[in-house]
């Protein structure tokens, strides 16, 4: 298992390290302690005055520490654990900063998604969204800041300039950039806006254009949701020194997991309530967005999610990997928020 600790950044007080989860601890305990370690590391890695203006530091932290599942950093840590099982444990200094950087990118995407020009949401993780609290300009800049700081973290960590360390960092930087960019999240959001008719009048799809089919819906969410989930798991495996075959198995697992996560998210948008979800329920259907329940129905969507989780677990089993990745797959399928 990983030792969830990291030296503090220069000039920052050291936070008490989070207790190391026992290898046999219940999954819930593992998640709570790993989240605590991620939060402590995020606090150390995020810039603060006088390095940056107080307002932007506050706005970035407002969204980063609003709560959330921390799925992506948990995947990075669990993937590192899985590929090093039976040998020396993965080095926290190598994996934990990357896990935090990916959470920064995820949070940036939420800030921007909530803007009036995008999904126009006023609630996120149970409290007002960034643009409601700080205004649209600061919200945009907070998202920009988180995205940029994430790549600074990825470039600086893990420390060391050996060819092996440099090669791993470059591989992770390239994969995360691909996942966050126009071939990944940005491209997926473009497809989503187009499908929902949220473009300028001259750019909107004609009313007679065919609706998005199942393959197109999968492809959109493979970019919008799945790409960063895959990058998180791959980053953990690569930085832990996994061989290419193990990295490929983790990548396949996370691809199926990402689709399952989105299918369940769409189901919860129909069946959940705002107090449990921490965001506006029913917003996707009201906005005309393509969803799995809208295309397949609720029961078929549940079967699709279960099938994706089955494929994710099969990818692990074929490579002899397990650990907490299997439990994370079960949690994704059965989550209530």
Residue-wise pLDDT for 236-273, tens only, equals: 999 999 999 999 999 999 999 999 999 999 999 998 76
What span, in angstroms and rounded, lies between the C-alpha atoms of 179 and 222? Answer: 10
Give the confidence band of 163 by pLDDT, cuts at 50, 70, 90: very high
Q: Which of 23, 34, 49, 11 is nearest to 236 (CA)?
A: 34
Counting residues of the chain whose pLDDT is more than 70, the rounded percentage is 86
pLDDT at 164 over 90: yes
Q: Are strands 123-124 and 127-128 parallel, antiparallel or unpaired?
A: antiparallel
DSSP for 32-91, written as a single string = HHHHHHHHHHHHHHS--TTSS-HHHHHHHHHHHTS----HHHHHHHHHHHHHTTTSSPPP
Whole-model pTM: value is 0.89
Q: What is the mean pLDDT of residues 220-239?
A: 97
Q: Is 237 exposed, middle or buried (CB count within 10 Å of its CB: 0-12, 13-18, 19+)?
A: buried
Give the confidence band of 10 by pLDDT, cuts at 50, 70, 90: very low
Q: Is 325 exposed, middle or buried (CB count within 10 Å of its CB: 0-12, 13-18, 19+)?
A: buried
Give the per-residue pLDDT at 236: 97
Compute how many other C-beta atoms are within 10 angstroms of the C-beta atom of residue 286: 10
Counting residues of the chain whose pLDDT is more than 90, the rounded percentage is 71
Give the confidence band of 13 by pLDDT, cuts at 50, 70, 90: very low
Give the per-residue pLDDT at 203: 74
Minimum mean pLDDT range among 89-93, 204-208, 286-290? 204-208
Minimum mean pLDDT range among 9-18, 119-128, 157-166? 9-18
Give whole-number Cα distances, 54 to 27, 59, 191, in Å: 37, 9, 36
pLDDT at 1 over 60: no
Residues 6+ apart with CB under 8 A from 99: 38, 41, 72, 73, 74, 76, 77, 232, 235, 236
Find tokens 């810039």 and name the residue: 47
Give the confidence band of 218 by pLDDT, cuts at 50, 70, 90: very high
First to last CA, the chain: 27
DSSP 213: -
Structure tokens at 122: 């006023």
Minimum mean pLDDT range among 19-23, 116-120, 307-311? 19-23
Give the per-residue pLDDT at 210: 66
Give the confidence band of 182 by pLDDT, cuts at 50, 70, 90: very high
DSSP 18: P
Q: Per the CATH hierarchy, to which homologous superfamily does domain 30-334 belong? A: Farnesyl Diphosphate Synthase (1.10.600.10)
Q: Are 201 and 214 in contact (CB under 8 A)?
A: no
């Amino acid at each position: 298992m990983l030792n969830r600790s990291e030296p503090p950044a220069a000039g920052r007080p050291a936070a008490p390290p989070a207790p190391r989860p026992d290898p046999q601890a219940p999954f819930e305990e593992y998640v709570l302690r790993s989240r605590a370690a991620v939060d402590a590391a995020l606090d150390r890695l995020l810039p603060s005055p006088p390095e940056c203006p107080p307002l932007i530091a506050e706005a970035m932290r407002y969204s980063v520490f609003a709560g959330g599942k921390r799925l992506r950093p948990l995947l990075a840590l669990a993937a590192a654990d899985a590929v090093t099982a039976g040998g020396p444990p993965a080095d926290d200094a190598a994996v934990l900063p990357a896990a935090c950087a990916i959470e920064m990118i995820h949070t940036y995407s939420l800030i921007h998604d909530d803007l009036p020009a995008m999904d126009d949401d006023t609630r996120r993780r149970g409290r007002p969204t960034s643009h409601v609290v700080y205004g649209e300009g600061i919200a945009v800049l907070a998202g920009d800041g988180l995205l940029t700081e994430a790549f600074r973290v990825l470039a600086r960590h893990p420390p060391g300039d050996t060819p092996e360390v440099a090669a791993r960092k470059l591989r992770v930087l390239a994969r995360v950039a691909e996942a966050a960019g126009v071939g990944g999240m940005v491209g997926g959001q473009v497809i989503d806006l187009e499908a929902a008719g949220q473009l300028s009048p001259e750019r909107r799809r004609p009313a007679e254009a065919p609706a998005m089919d199942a393959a197109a819906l999968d492809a959109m969410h493979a970019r919008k949701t799945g790409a960063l989930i895959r990058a998180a798991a791959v980053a953990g495996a690569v930085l832990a020194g996994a061989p290419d075959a193990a990295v490929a198995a983790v990548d396949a697992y996370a691809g199926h997991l990402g689709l399952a996560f989105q299918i369940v998210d769409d189901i919860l948008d129909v069946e959940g309530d705002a107090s449990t979800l921490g965001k506006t329920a029913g917003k996707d259907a009201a906005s005309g967005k393509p969803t799995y329940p809208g295309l397949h129905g609720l029961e078929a969507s549940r079967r699709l999610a279960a099938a994706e989780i089955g494929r994710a677990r099969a990818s692990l089993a074929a490579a002899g990997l397990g650990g907490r990745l299997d439990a994370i797959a079960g949690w994704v399928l059965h989550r209530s928020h």
